[in-house]
Every structure is written in structure tokens, then in C-alpha cells.
Structure 1
Amino acid sequence: MDSEPWHHRAMIDVCRGYGHELTEEECAASVGVAFRDYYLQLHARRPLPVAMEDWANEINALYVTRVAEVRPRDGAFALVEAFAARGLAQACVSNSGRAVVQANLAAMGLGHFRFGLSREDVVHGKPHPEPYLKAAGMLGLPPEACAVIEDSPTGARSAMAAGMLTIAWPQSPAVVFDAVDHLVEDPASLDWDALCRLSLS
């Protein structure tokens, strides 16, 4: 889902309510970063008069009220359908809270994801490998048999640390990734037949 602009709007609106004006650039720095870590960054620059958990809950609640307006990324749903047609097991692994993950999955209405794994389902969020390793275990797959498509450097670090094939699909060319297996403008351009054979070898 092309959800980052909507997360940014919710964050800007909530912070504004506490007298803390955020720029688009400051919001862009939050992509893929856990709420707690980003809250601490903001709080260190200028204290927020609200507890982290309440702040995060307000942002999530506002985002969920607008989720019907969030549009898919170009080609994303077609890719999910193509993977389903291949019989590939799919899951959503996110650093967002459970309410947001569930709202996004419901808004997609695709039915091809086995489950959604949220930040609340793990001890360590991304960039730690735990989220992707836990998802692989829930799918009954070894990490080396898994491919990850990520739009954030934080998520890509998590997938690489988990030992999975990592494909970076940035939403903006300005986003800089560390070393990944593939950096693409469109994941559909990859040779998925070859990638699937590689994962089975």
C-alpha cells in the first residue's frame, strides 16, 4: 500500500495538536523506524507533552480512520496475485502496530496473505532479524527459501540479517539502501522463475 503519505499526515496532525510542527522532511526520516525510536528522536529535539504510547495510539487511530483512502502502489496487487497463482506462501511483516496492519490487510481485500505480523508480535522490531525469522517459522520455511520486498532501508536490513533474498522497492529515489540483493523500480521486472529455482536449490 502507498501508505507512507497517510502515516505522515496522521503524524503531522497529531504532533500539531501538541504544538509540535513537523516538516515533510522530518516525517520522511521516520520511514521504517519504530514509533518508540522516532518518538525519542523528536522528544530529544523538543519534548512532547504526551507519553509515547498515547502519541503512537493517536497516530494509528487517525490513520485507521483514513485507510479506505489509501491506494495500492502501482503493480503491487498484480504482483500479489501472480505470486498466489504460483502457489507461493505470502505474509505481511511490518514495523507498524497490529491495528494498522490489520486495517491495511482488510483494505487490500486480497485474501492471499497467510497472516500479518506487527511490531507488537515480536520482542525486537526491524532492523533486528526477529520479525522476518518469526514469519519464516510461521510459514514453515527456512529463511533461505524466503524472498522479501521492502520499501524501507530499516526493513531491508532486517531481511538481510535474517538471511533472506532482499529486494528493495523504494517509494522515492531519494531513499538510500544499504547492500541488498536487488534494487528495483518494479519487482515484476525480476525473473521470478529463476529466483524461485534458486531458493529451491
Structure 2
Amino acid sequence: MMRAVLWDIDGTLLDSEPHHFNSFVAVCESHGQTLAKADYDRLLGRSMAEVYAMLNAVQPLPLDLPDFAAACSDHYVTHVAKVPARRGALEQVAELARAGVLQACVSNSARRVVEANMGVIAMPEALRFALSRDDVTKGKPDPEPYLRAAERLGMAPEDCVVVEDSPIGARAAKAAGMVTIAWPQHATLEFDAVDLIIADLREVDWTNPLQGRKITANH
């Protein structure tokens, strides 16, 4: 039985992934490095440490991880007002809140970025809290973030539904033992273990998500 919904933020509630990628591009270019558009999908949903390691392995960066992370966060937060919500996302949050469903956010981003995003979302009464990468020992795809969120809500993992846009986040949710809905923005993404793949939040039967149809993102 669903009693709580846990939302990823970047790419799920907010259409922010292109803005994060633009931050990576801006920081790399400011230090004479290039970042190809083809890198977008492989960086999707990853923590800043993973992004840094992947980029540094291809083109060594003249920045250490803390400086790279700070520069990317600075760029993103400066432009966060331009980040739109995904279509129907905040409306669905509001509808679930009216129905009395507990909700919270679980992100792989740093606390500063999460706080900026929550300022854009501006729904503190509906979303009880937002966990950041800084709040856990291990980030997604480890299940710790989702298990920590369930614990804070006082819910068993099996009573939680997770909505994610990335395979990395979906793996974390499934490893936590939660019903996992993939809502990708790109039909090319492959999800190895989810309960439902949707193109629109309206496809979900929120009273019993497992009754939904497993469909592709470009149906």
C-alpha cells in the first residue's frame, strides 16, 4: 500500500539537467577544456564527485574536486531562476498533498543546489524535507538516501513510491525495496529494474501504482 511518495528533484520535479550540464560546460570552458553534447546522458543523475572523476579521466582538469564542485554550484545557483518545473510535476505534488500523502525529495546534488531548487519549487507544506548528497554517506545508486528518507517519514520502504528520471536513481530506489516509477525525459535511457516506465504522470494510478502499465517513454 502506498503511503508516501519520494521525488527525485533534478530532471524529475525540475527540468534542471540541461542547466547542470551547462554549468559543467561553462566551468570546463573557463579552464580551456571542452565538453561534448554526447557527454550529457552519461553524466545524468551522477553525483558531483562522479562527474568530476569521469571528466578528469578524459581531460585532466586544472581544478580539484572541491573547487570544481563550488564553481559548478555557483554557476547553477546563479541561473536557477531560469529552471522550469517539468510538466505536471508540481501539480501532481499538490494533488497528492491534498489527499494526505506524505512526500519528500531525495537528491544526489549538494545541499546548496538542493536548497536553491527547493526555492524554485516553493512547496514546503507539501514536501516535508529534501535530502541532499551531503546528508548521506553514500549517494545514489546506493539505497542509503531513500532508506534515510523513509526513516525520517516513519515509513517502511515497501510503503514508499519513488519517482526518478535516471537509471542511477532508479537503481537506488529499487535497492531500497521501494516501488519505483521511471519518468525519463529521454527515450534512449535504459532502466534495468523498475516497476513502471511512464511518459506522463497522469498514467499513474496513485492508489495502486503497480496496477499501471509498463510502457516506453516514447509511446
The residue that corresponds to 1:41 in the other structure is 54
Choose the corresponding residue for 1:67, options 80, 96, 100: 80
Deviation, 1:83, is 0.8
| Partner amino acid, structure 1, of 2:160 | C
Secondary structure of residue in 1 paired with 2:207: helix
Segments of structure 2 that go 5 or more residues without pairing to the other structure are 1-13, 212-219
- Aligned pair count reads 197
- Give the Cα separation in 1 of the matches to 2:58 and 2:145: 29
Q: Which has the higher contact order (CA 8 A, sep 6+)?
A: 2
Choose the corresponding residue for 1:136, options 128, 150, 172: 150
Choose the corresponding residue for 1:157, options 171, 181, 186: 171
Farther off after superposition, 161-170 or 107-116: 107-116
The residue that corresponds to 1:92 in the other structure is 105
Secondary structure of residue in 1 paired with 2:119: helix
Q: Deviations over 1:19-52 (max 9, x none)?
A: 1110111133111111111211111112101001
The residue that corresponds to 2:122 in the other structure is 109
Q: Does 1:183 align with 2:209?
A: no
Deviation, 1:194, is 2.4
- Give the Cα separation in 1 of the matches to 2:210 and 2:160: 9
- Give the Cα separation in 2 of the matches to 1:127 and 1:66: 27
- Give the Cα separation in 2 of the matches to 1:124 and 1:194: 30
Deviation, 1:189, is 1.2
Higher helix proportion (structure 1 or 2): 1
RMSD: 1.3
TM-score calculated relative to the size of structure 2: 0.87
- Give the Cα separation in 1 of the matches to 2:40 and 2:21: 6
Q: Does 1:168 align with 2:173?
A: no
Deviation, 1:161, is 0.0
Deviation, 1:195, is 3.5
